[in-house]
Structure 1
Amino acid sequence: MSALTARCVGLLVAAVVLLGAGFRFAYPELTLLGAAAGIAVAYAALTAAWRPRLEVTRSADPDRVARGEAAMMTLTVRNAGRLRAASLVAEDRCGDRSVPVPLLRLRPGRDSTVRYEVPTDRRGVVPVGPLRVTRRDPLGLVTLSRPYGGTVPVWVHPRVHPLNAVPTGAGRSLDGRVDKVPHGSITFDSLREYVVGDELRRVHWRTSARVGELMVRENVDTSLPRIVVLLDNRAVAHPQRVDGVAESFESACEAAASVLVAAYREALPVVLLLVAPEPAGLAAARGDEAAQGPLDRLAAAELADAGDLQPATARLRRERLGDTLVFLTGPGGRDDMGAVGALRAAYPSVVVGVFGATEPAPSGAAGLVVIDAADGAAFAAEWDGVRRW
Structure 2
Amino acid sequence: MGITARGIGLLVVAVLLLGAGFRFGYPELTLLGAAAGIAVAVAVVVAARRPRLVVRREADPDRVARGEPAAMTLTLRNAGRLRVASLLATDRCGDRVVPVPVLRLRPGADTTVRYDVPTTRRGVVPVGPLRVTRRDPLGLVVLARAYGGSVPVWVHPRIHPLSAVPTGAGRSLDGRVDAVPHGSITFDSLREYVVGDELRRVHWRTSARVGELMVRENVDTSLPRIVVLLDNRVAAHPDRVGGVAESFEAACEAAASVVTAAVRADLPVVLLFVAAQTPPAGSPPAAGAGAGVAAGAGPEVPGGDTVDLDGPGVGPLDRLAAVTLTAEGTLQAATARLRRDRLGDTLVVLTGPGGRDELGYVGALRGAYPSVVVGVFGAAEPTPPDAAGLVVVDAPDGAAFAAEWDGVRRW
Q: 1:138 to 1:287 in 2, by over 3 A?
A: farther
2:364 to 316, 338, 342: 342
- Which whole-Å CA distance do the structure 2 matches of 1:374 and 1:88 have between them? 49
Q: 1:236 to 1:22 in 2, by over 3 A?
A: same
Deviation at 1:145, TM superposition (A): 0.9
Q: 1:126 to 1:32 in 2, by over 3 A?
A: same
Counterpart mapping for 1:37-52 below 5 A: 37-52=36-51
1:57 equivalent in alignment to 2:56: yes
Secondary structure of the residue aligned to 2:364 is helix
The answer for the alignment partner of 1:295 in structure 2 is 310
Secondary structure of the residue aligned to 1:106 is coil
- Which whole-Å CA distance do the structure 2 matches of 1:89 and 1:282 have between them? 40
The answer for the alignment partner of 1:138 in structure 2 is 137
2:176–2:221 Cα contact (<8 Å) kept: no
2:247–2:377 Cα contact (<8 Å) kept: yes
For normalisation by structure 1, the TM-score amounts to 0.80
| Percent of matched pairs sharing the same residue | 76
1:353 to 354, 375, 383: 375
- Which whole-Å CA distance do the structure 2 matches of 1:227 and 1:180 have between them? 17
Output one character per residue of 1:51-90: Cα deviation in whole Å (capped at 9) or x when no partner: 2222222221211111111112122223232344353221
- Unmatched runs of 5 consecutive residues or more in structure 1: 187-220
Secondary structure of the residue aligned to 2:137 is coil
Count of aligned residue pairs for this structure pair: 348
1:152–1:287 Cα contact (<8 Å) kept: no
Q: 1:135 to 1:358 in 2, by over 3 A?
A: same
Q: Which amino acid in structure 2 is aligned with residue 343 of structure 1?
A: L
1:79–1:108 Cα contact (<8 Å) kept: yes
1:49–1:144 Cα contact (<8 Å) kept: yes
For normalisation by structure 2, the TM-score amounts to 0.76
Output one character per residue of 1:312-357: Cα deviation in whole Å (capped at 9) or x when no partner: 3233233332211111111110122111122223321111111122
- RMSD value over aligned CA atoms? 3.2
Output one character per residue of 1:265-302: Cα deviation in whole Å (capped at 9) or x when no partner: 3222222111112346988xx9945999643599x99x
- Unmatched runs of 5 consecutive residues or more in structure 2: 188-219, 277-286, 299-305, 312-316
Q: Which amino acid in structure 2 is aligned with residue 58 of structure 1?
A: R
Output one character per residue of 1:354-376: Cα deviation in whole Å (capped at 9) or x when no partner: 11222333578333111111222
Deviation at 1:223, TM superposition (A): 5.8
Which range is displaced more, 262-271 or 32-41?
A: 262-271
Output one character per residue of 1:240-284: Cα deviation in whole Å (capped at 9) or x when no partner: 12222212112111111221222223222222111112346988x
2:169–2:223 Cα contact (<8 Å) kept: no
The answer for the alignment partner of 1:318 in structure 2 is 340
Counterpart mapping for 1:4-43 below 5 A: 4-43=3-42
Q: 1:255 to 1:100 in 2, by over 3 A?
A: same
1:71–1:120 Cα contact (<8 Å) kept: yes
1:109 equivalent in alignment to 2:131: no
The answer for the alignment partner of 2:355 in structure 1 is 333
